[in-house]
């Protein structure tokens, strides 16, 4: 017989959901209670099933979570104006005979004949409330007026807008005016931000202004004239910018002229409808007390039916509007030297050195700056000025603020890819490519492969810090989580398709390179700064272990859980003063909570010290007696292993921890794969200073021979030079 369970579907407010869980606990208290919700429940004894995505996706996830079990009760909260109708339907589909509905007054019923009177009373009560609200003073009927007529007509006219081609439309740009140099750049400093419109006419490029035909006499409002001129410039791909420290410009007031501007200039139908509908919504909201808004609303239908331009602008409107509405700042770096140009598009800043990817990027761009002019387009959390270390490496840095949310659009692409999907970034990247015309565009991290089309005509190179679908395959072997297996399939599709768009794919090891098919691949391993990471003095503090790994990377959390649950207890039992020092990276508390659906981890234990981001990890290596890398799943190569060896510290690692590194087990590190093996290796080394010294010395020799950044940078420069030679020369150069 299948074990029975109860399920609470969190379809109400937080308070009502808590009441539902309390009610569900009281009924059949011997049965385990599952909770289907957006976020994990506060109570640790509840089993959480994540709710996200379409009805079909959630149905598949729930059936996977409840497989082999019989649903005895499925409870929901029926509350109007709470957007969880699909979740209630999900509960009904999963358990129609055991569906328990509770309203905000805690009255409940089931879909049984005996509950028919209660169901009828509930429906009549809801219908009465609906009628009373919408006929009351704040209801729908009381809010209706004559302004609804032009509002509805204007919305309909926006969909029916005629398309015409301007008399001077389609004209080719004058030679010499095809670059992405600014049309309007109000700044004397080294930092600028993209804006939709510039300042006074003195800031406009006179040649480009002449090409655009100057200010249009059809606009009475000077503000609209400037907006119109800058909008036309953006459509040509000529950006406007302002001083980054200047206050944000005031949005253009919505008026009759603004509606005419939308109708006469916007070429993209979707952009027009979105902007048009938003403008009409604003006018409709203020028409009762604003005469000008009411007048504009009544003229909207005729303006829309007057038509608008056909075709498309040279620079897509959805991109430049997204760019100018985002926090996007351009910083001037070192002076251009005329050397070959490279563009790097990255998901993260190369400095500070907050994770392994940043360490690799910074060490390589610092060395490449001697031979190439480099441009960086990068996602950031804030638009704070880049560190001087970066400005010394790049001729220009474009920073695009990323909205920090995991609530991403639903698609068949991996979640991380959607988290880094940004029209503003796409626009900033296109402008940087147009301005600097790099021969090679390097895409750092797998999710950035989505921007390969924006790099044209530069040759795209994807830096695979790890083969992501291989990482998910490894995790999926020991975790039956439905979302994990779904992401694995999505990564496989996305990653293998991305490779076909690249001129080359760079992997961290020969093992990872073997995965790459249908395109050129090169293995350029991770390295270590041998000068920065010198041999630490002494043997560290007795019985002190060190693990370094950002919790933003799920395999690091899995590694810590594996060590704490399978090895740490044995180590502490034998050595009560043993200490485990974990450096978990920036925002580690957030990622610990976010990944809780995959990894339940308790670090509030005696002897465990947890730190977030540490700008300089060398003192931590110096204090450690042993560095551990208990990874269960890994792709790419582990930079922290190389740093530990460079610092002369003995390393205890699983096979996954040294994935892709050509290291000799037993000579250059201690290999241990099970919890017991790891604990025994640590306890042995605690009492064997000679063996620790031998491992440390051999490890330092290995990184000196094979993993210095200078040699890796030399091989990367060879790849760049080869790709640059394959770029066809411009027509002007051939003649």
Looking at residue 657, which CATH number applies to its domain? 3.40.50.2000
181 plus 307 within the same structural domain: yes
682 pLDDT above the threshold of 60: yes
> Which residues touch 498 (CB under 8 Å, ≥6 apart)?
446, 449, 450, 452, 462
Beta strands in 347-502 (DSSP E): 373-380, 396-401, 440-444, 459-464
Helices (H), 340-450: 356-368, 388-391, 415-419, 423-436
The pLDDT value recorded for residue 671 is 95
| Host H or E run for residue 339 | none
Q: Tokens representing 94?
A: 């999963």
Average confidence (pLDDT) over 425-451: 96
pLDDT band, very low/low/confident/very high, at 138 (cuts 50, 70, 90): low
Which range of residues forms the domain containing residue 681? 544-707
Quote the CA–CA distance of 186 and 215 in Å, as a whole number.
18
The pLDDT value recorded for residue 257 is 93
Greater confidence (198 vs 476) lies with 476
46 plus 26 within the same structural domain: yes
Provide the mean pLDDT of the chain.
88
Beta strands in 212-317 (DSSP E): 240-243, 308-309
147 within domain boundaries: no
**In the block, which residue shows the tokens 């950006």?**
239
The pLDDT value recorded for residue 133 is 63
306 plus 339 within the same structural domain: no
**In the block, which residue shows the tokens 């009927």?**
141
> What secondary structure letter does DSSP report for 566?
I
Quote the CA–CA distance of 360 and 369 in Å, as a whole number.
14
The pLDDT value recorded for residue 410 is 63
313 plus 353 within the same structural domain: no
Least confidently predicted of 161-170, 343-352, 563-572: 161-170
What are the tens digits of pLDDT across the range 596-619?
777 888 898 999 999 998 989 999
Quote the CA–CA distance of 607 and 578 in Å, as a whole number.
6
Q: How many domains does the chain fold into? A: 4
409 plus 262 within the same structural domain: no
178 pLDDT above the threshold of 60: no
Q: Which of 298, 322, 346 is the last residue of a domain?
A: 322
Q: Tokens representing 84?
A: 């969880």
> Which residues touch 724 (CB under 8 Å, ≥6 apart)?
340, 439, 440
572 plus 697 within the same structural domain: yes
153 within domain boundaries: no
722 within domain boundaries: no
* Dihedrals phi, psi of 85, to nearest 5 degrees: -65, -40
> What secondary structure letter does DSSP report for 139?
S
311 plus 387 within the same structural domain: no
The pLDDT value recorded for residue 460 is 97
Q: What is the CA radius of gyration of the chain?
A: 31
400 pLDDT above the threshold of 70: yes
pLDDT band, very low/low/confident/very high, at 347 (cuts 50, 70, 90): very high
563 within domain boundaries: yes
Least confidently predicted of 99-103, 162-166, 235-239, 292-296: 162-166
344 plus 457 within the same structural domain: yes
383 plus 311 within the same structural domain: no
Phi-psi region of 587 (alpha: psi -120 to 50; beta: other; left: phi over 0): left
* Dihedrals phi, psi of 386, to nearest 5 degrees: -65, 155
Q: Tokens representing 233?
A: 């410039």
pLDDT band, very low/low/confident/very high, at 78 (cuts 50, 70, 90): confident
The pLDDT value recorded for residue 202 is 61
13 plus 105 within the same structural domain: yes
663 pLDDT above the threshold of 50: yes
Q: How far apart are the first and last CA of the chain?
A: 83
The pLDDT value recorded for residue 729 is 60
CB atoms within 10 A of CB 562: 21
448 pLDDT above the threshold of 90: yes
Greater confidence (237 vs 660) lies with 237
Cα–Cα nearest to 716, from 374, 386, 349, 468: 374
Task: Say how far residue 80 (Cα) sits from the centre of its chain.
Answer: 33
pLDDT band, very low/low/confident/very high, at 732 (cuts 50, 70, 90): very low
733 pLDDT above the threshold of 50: no
CATH value at residue 70: 3.40.50.720
The pLDDT value recorded for residue 174 is 45
Q: Which of 266, 298, 322 is the last residue of a domain?
A: 322
What are the tens digits of pLDDT across the range 24-73?
999 999 999 999 998 888 887 899 999 988 899 999 999 999 999 999 99
Q: Which of 322, 340, 358 is the last residue of a domain?
A: 322
CB atoms within 10 A of CB 637: 26
490 within domain boundaries: yes
The pLDDT value recorded for residue 165 is 64
The pLDDT value recorded for residue 253 is 87
Quote the CA–CA distance of 584 and 589 in Å, as a whole number.
9
Helices (H), 222-268: 222-236, 256-265
| Host H or E run for residue 56 | helix 55-65
**Cβ–Cβ under 8 Å, residues 78 and 101:** yes
What are the tens digits of pLDDT across the range 258-308?
999 999 999 999 999 999 999 999 999 888 888 999 999 999 999 999 888
604 within domain boundaries: yes
337 within domain boundaries: yes
> Which residues touch 184 (CB under 8 Å, ≥6 apart)?
197, 198, 199, 203, 204, 205, 230, 233, 240, 241
**Cβ–Cβ under 8 Å, residues 232 and 317:** no
Residues of the chain with pLDDT > 90, as a percent, come to: 58
Quote the CA–CA distance of 540 and 538 in Å, as a whole number.
6
534 within domain boundaries: no
382 plus 400 within the same structural domain: yes
Buried b or exposed e, range 420-454, using 16+ CB within 10 angstroms: bbbbbbbbbbbbbbbbbebbbbbbbbbbbbbbbeb
What are the tens digits of pLDDT across the range 198-221?
765 567 888 888 888 888 888 888
317 plus 415 within the same structural domain: no
């Amino acid at each position: 017989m299948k074990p029975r369970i109860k399920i609470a579907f969190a379809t109400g407010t937080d308070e009502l959901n808590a009441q539902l869980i309390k009610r569900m606990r009281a009924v059949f208290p011997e049965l385990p209670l599952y909770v289907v919700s957006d976020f994990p429940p506060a109570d640790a004894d509840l089993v959480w099933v994540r709710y996200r995505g379409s009805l079909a996706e959630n149905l598949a996830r729930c059936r996977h979570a409840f497989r082999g079990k019989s649903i005895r009760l499925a409870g929901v909260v029926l509350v109007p104006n709470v957007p969880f109708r699909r979740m209630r339907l999900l509960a009904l589909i999963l358990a129609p005979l055991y569906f328990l509905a509770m309203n905000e007054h805690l009255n409940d019923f089931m879909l049984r004949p005996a509950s028919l009177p209660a169901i009828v009373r509930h429906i009549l009560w809801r219908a009465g409330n609906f009628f009373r609200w919408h006929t009351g003073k704040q209801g729908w009927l009381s809010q209706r007026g004559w302004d609804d007529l032009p509002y509805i007509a204007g919305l309909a006219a926006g969909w029916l807008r005629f398309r015409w081609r301007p008399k001077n439309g389609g004209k080719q740009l004058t030679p010499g005016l095809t670059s992405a140099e600014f049309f309007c750049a109000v700044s004397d400093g080294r930092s600028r931000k993209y804006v939709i419109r510039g300042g006074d006419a003195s800031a406009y490029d006179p040649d480009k202004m002449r090409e655009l035909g100057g200010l249009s006499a059809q606009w009475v409002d000077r503000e609209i004239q400037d907006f119109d001129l800058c909008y036309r410039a953006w459509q040509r791909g000529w950006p406007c910018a302002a001083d980054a420290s200047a206050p944000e410009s005031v949005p253009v007031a919505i008026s009759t002229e603004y509606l005419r501007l939308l109708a006469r200039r916007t070429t993209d139908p979707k952009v027009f409808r979105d902007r048009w509908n938003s403008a009409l919504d604003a006018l409709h909201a203020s028409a009762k007390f604003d005469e000008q808004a009411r007048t504009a609303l009544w003229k909207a239908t005729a303006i829309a039916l007057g038509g608008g331009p056909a075709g498309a602008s040279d620079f897509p409107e959805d991109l430049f509007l997204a760019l100018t509405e985002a926090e996007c700042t351009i910083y001037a770096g070192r002076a251009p030297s005329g050397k070959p140009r490279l563009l790097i598009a990255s998901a993260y800043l190369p400095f500070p050195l907050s994770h392994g990817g940043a360490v690799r990027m910074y060490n390589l761009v610092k060395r490449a700056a001697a031979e190439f002019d480099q441009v960086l387009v990068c996602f950031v959390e804030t638009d704070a000025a880049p560190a001087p270390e970066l400005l010394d490496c790049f001729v220009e840095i474009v920073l695009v603020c990323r909205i920090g949310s995991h609530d991403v659009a639903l698609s068949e692409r991996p979640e991380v890819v959607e988290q880094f999907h940004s029209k503003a970034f796409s626009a900033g990247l296109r402008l940087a490519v147009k301005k600097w015309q790099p021969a090679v565009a390097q895409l750092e991290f797998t999710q950035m492969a989505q921007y390969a089309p924006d790099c044209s005509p530069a040759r795209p190179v994807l830096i695979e810090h790890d083969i992501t679908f291989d990482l998910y395959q490894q995790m999926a072997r020991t975790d039956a989580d439905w979302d994990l297996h779904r992401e694995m399939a999505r990564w496989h599709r996305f990653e293998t398709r991305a490779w076909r768009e690249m001129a080359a794919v760079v992997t961290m090891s020969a093992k990872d390179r073997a995965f790459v098919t249908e395109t050129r691949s090169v293995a350029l391993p991770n390295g270590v700064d041998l000068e920065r990471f010198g041999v630490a003095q002494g043997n560290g503090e007795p019985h002190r272990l060190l693990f370094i790994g950002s919790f933003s990377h799920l395999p690091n959390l899995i590694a810590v859980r594996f060590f704490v649950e399978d090895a740490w207890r044995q180590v502490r039992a034998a050595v009560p003063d043993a200490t485990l020092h974990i450096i978990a990276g920036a925002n580690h508390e957030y990622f610990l909570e976010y990944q809780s659906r995959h990894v339940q981890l308790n670090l509030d234990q005696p002897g465990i010290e947890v730190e977030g981001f540490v700008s300089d990890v060398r003192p931590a290596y110096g204090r450690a007696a042993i560095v551990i890398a208990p990874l269960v799943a890994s792709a790419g190569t582990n930079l922290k292993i190389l740093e530990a060896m460079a610092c002369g510290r003995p390393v205890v690692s699983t096979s996954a921890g040294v994935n892709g590194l050509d290291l000799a087990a037993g000579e250059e590190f201690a290999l241990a794969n099970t919890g017991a093996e790891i604990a025994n290796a640590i306890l042995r080394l605690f009492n064997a200073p000679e063996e620790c010294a031998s491992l440390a010395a051999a490890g330092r020799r290995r990184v000196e021979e094979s993993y210095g950044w200078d040699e890796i940078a030399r091989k990367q420069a060879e790849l760049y030079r080869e790709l640059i030679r394959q770029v066809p020369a411009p027509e002007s150069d051939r003649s």
